Structure formats: structure tokens, C-alpha cells
Amino acid sequence: MSQPNPLMSTQADVFAYTELEAASIATLAKGSRDFLHTAHPEARSRNLERLSKRAVSLELHGCTLAEYYRLKRIPRGLRGILNKCSLDIITLTIEYIQKELLTVTEQVSTLEVQLAQTASQEELSNTKARLEESVSRFRLETETRKREKFLRDAEDYTSGRIYRWTPGRPHVTTPYFRRRRPQTQAP
């Protein structure tokens, strides 16, 4: 056994073996230890029962999910998980967008400075006007498309058209919700 350090008299003496001493003492034990690693018959029967119940559970779970699939229904528990997962994906996407928006905004500023340094005042003015018109038109088109999709989804929720599968088609849209394309007028 290790001897306590006499200089540390303010602390209580700690009884401890070194690793080497403990290993040496453990080798002194006589007899076979194999009996410790042999499963007891009762442990085997408990294990058999546990595995048998697991097999029944897996079989019934598979059959139940197959019937849900055949009927094109989503189990209530899975709907909750999908809702949570969907909200998490939305949150993750918002987080990514905010980071990416900072990067893109910095790149826009850098390019604006470079353009201002290399272009004449007239070229810069024309480029900015053309760019503002193009970006403004893009914003209006994108806002319109996003608004239509948002209203379509809101209508789906208010009319209860969520989580309904039609056989052979995972999601159904009515003609009203299909993307309306602007009509070109004949000259």
C-alpha cells in the first residue's frame, strides 16, 4: 500500500493502492471466474421473452403502417412529428437566409463601390436606374408569387385540405390553386 505523505498532515490520510499494487493483488485470487460469464437460465428466459415481444411489436407495427399506407392516411403521432419537423426546417431555413443575406448584402456593397470607382458618372447613373427598375420588377413578381402561395396554403388550412392523400398522388391541388399564368393579349 502507498504510504501517506507526512508533509500533508492537514488532510486526512487516504487509503489507496497504486494500479500496480491492485493488479498484483487481483492475480492472487484462485479459482475459475467462468461461472460469472455464464448466463443464468432465468436470464436467458427473460431475454427470450423480451426478444419475442419485440418481434411481435415489430410485426404489428409494420402491418399497421402498411394499412395506413394502403389507405393513404398519416397517423396522428406522425402528423405531430411532421409538423414539428416542418417548423424546425422553416426555422433552420430562416437562420440560413439571414446569414446568407448578410453575405450577399456585403457583396452588393462591394460591387457598388467597384462600379462607382470604374464607371463614369453617366454610366453609373444609367446602370443604377436600369438596375433599380429590374430589381423593382423582380420584387413585385416575387411578392405576387409568394402572396399567392401563402394565400393558397392559408386556404388549405381553413378548409381542412391538409394531410389528405389521394391514391397515386401524394398531394392534391385544385385548379383554383394551380399557378395562374398571365394571359398574353392578342394584338
Mapped onto helix, strand or coil, the DSSP state of residue 61 is helix
Give the torsion through C-alpha atoms of 33, 39, 40, 46, to 10 deg. 160
pLDDT beneath 50: ranges in the chain: 167, 171-181, 184-187
For residue range 122-162, list pLDDT tens digits in order: 999 999 999 999 999 999 999 999 999 999 988 888 887 77
pLDDT at 179: 46
Dihedral of alpha carbons 179, 181, 182, 186, sign: negative
> Could you tell me how far CA 28 lies from the centroid of its own chain?
55
Spatial distance between the Cα atoms of 7 and 9, rounded to a whole number of angstroms: 6
Could you tell me the pTM of the whole model? 0.53
CA quadruple 123, 124, 126, 130: dihedral sign:
positive
pLDDT of 7: 53
- pLDDT value of position 187: 43
- Predicted confidence at residue 177, as pLDDT, reads 43
